Amino acid sequence: MTAVRVELFKLRTTRLFLWLLAAATGLSAALAALEASRGARGLTVSPLSSAAGLTTVTTATAFALLVAGLLGVTVTGGEFGHGIATLTFLSFPRRLQVLAAKLVAAAVAGAIVGLAAGVITTGIGLAFLRARGDALALGSGTLAGHIAGACLAAALLAVAGAGLGALVRNQLGATIAIFAWALVGETAIGGLFKDARPYLPFDAATTLAGTPLGSALGFLRLGPGPGALPFVVSAALVLGVGLLLTTVAALVTVPRDIS
* 259 inside domain: no
* 48 inside domain: yes
User: Global pTM?
Assistant: 0.89
User: What DSSP element (H or E) covers 156?
Assistant: helix 140-168
What would the pLDDT profile of 27-53 be if each residue is shown by its tens digit?
Answer: 999 999 988 888 777 667 678 888 888
Separation between Cα atoms, residue 34 and residue 93, nearest integer Å? 49
pLDDT the model gives residue 219: 46
* Total domain count, the chain: 1
* 120 inside domain: yes
pLDDT the model gives residue 93: 67
* 258 inside domain: no
Separation between Cα atoms, residue 199 and residue 182, nearest integer Å? 13
* 225 inside domain: yes
Is a pLDDT exceeding 90 seen at residue 233?
A: yes
Where is pLDDT greater, at 7 or 239?
Answer: 239
Separation between Cα atoms, residue 238 and residue 159, nearest integer Å? 9
- Length of the chain as a residue count: 259
Q: Predicted confidence band at 215 (pLDDT cuts at 50, 70, 90)?
A: low
* 149 inside domain: yes
Three-class secondary structure of residue 200 per DSSP? coil
* Domain of residue 29, residue span: 2-252
Separation between Cα atoms, residue 232 and residue 236, nearest integer Å? 6
pLDDT the model gives residue 171: 84
* 257 inside domain: no
* 196 inside domain: yes
Separation between Cα atoms, residue 197 and residue 186, nearest integer Å? 8
